[in-house]
Structure 1
Amino acid sequence: MATEAFEDIAETFEFLEDWEDRYRHVIDMGKAMPPLEDAFRVPATKVDGCASQVWLVPEIKGDGPSAVFTFRGDSDAMIVKGLIAVLHALYNDLTVRDVTQVDALAELGRLGLNDHLSAQRSNGLRAMIERIRSIAATTAR
C-alpha cells in the first residue's frame, strides 16, 4: 500500500542503478523540503533514537480512523532529511488507519535502503517510523 509519490521514488530508484546516485537522490529530496521553523524544533517534536537531530510535526485533518495524516519534518543531517522526505512520500495524505497498516520496512526495502544505511541510520529510520505509527494509532482511536 504505497502512495503514488512513493511509487515515483521506487521507479526512480529502479532507473538509478548505482547506489551513490540513489544516495544523492535521497539527499536532493531532503534539500527540496522546506525547513522547519525553529518554534517546532522542541523536545515534544524531537524523535529519540536518532543519531542526528530529527523533528517530526504531525498535522492531522479530521478525527478518528478516517482523519488524514500529514507531517512536516527536518533534520540537521542531509541524508536524514532525505529519509524524512521518503517517509513523507510514503505516509502523507493517508488516513491514520492506513498509516498504521503500511509495512514501512517492506516498502523501504524495495528501495534497498536497508542494505546501504549504517546501523545508526537504520535505527533512526525505525524510530521515525515508530513515531509516525504511534501518532496515527493514537489519532485513530
Structure 2
Amino acid sequence: MKPLLMSWQIWALLSAAFAALTAIFAKIGVANIGSDFATFVRTLVILAVLAGLLTVTNGWQGLGTVSPRSGLFLVLSGLATGASWLCYFRALQMGEASRVAPIDKLSVVMVALFAALFLGERLTATGWAGVALIGTGAVLIATGL
C-alpha cells in the first residue's frame, strides 16, 4: 500500500480545499483594493513561498534543463493562469463568492472536454455523466435556479 501523501487523490482534495479557502480569503481581500493589484500581491506571495520551498528542498534547476517544448507550454500555462487569476479576482470583487466559485469550477468540465479533444484522453459514460452533473450543479448554484 502506498503512503497517503503519494496518492494523487489526496493532493487533489488538498487542492480543492485550498481553492475553497482562496475564494473566501480573496473575496475579503479585494474588498477595498483593485482586483488587478490584489492579483499582483497574491502573485508575490506565491513567488516568495515557491522560492522558499525550492530552496529548502534543493529543487532549483537551471533553465537549460527545460526543453523548448516544455518551456513553451509552461509559458502558455503561466499566461493562462495569470488571465484566470485576473478574471477570478475581478469576478469576486463584483459578485458573491458562493456564486463566482461554482462558475470558476466549470473549469472541471472544460478540462474534461479539452483533454478529450487535445490530449486524446477518454472518459467512460459514467465519467461523462459526472462531468455533466458538475456542470449542471455549477450552473444551478450560480444562478439560484
TM-score if structure 2 supplies the norm length? 0.29
Name the larger-Rg structure: 2
Structure having the higher helix fraction is: 2
Structure 1 or 2: more strand by fraction:
1
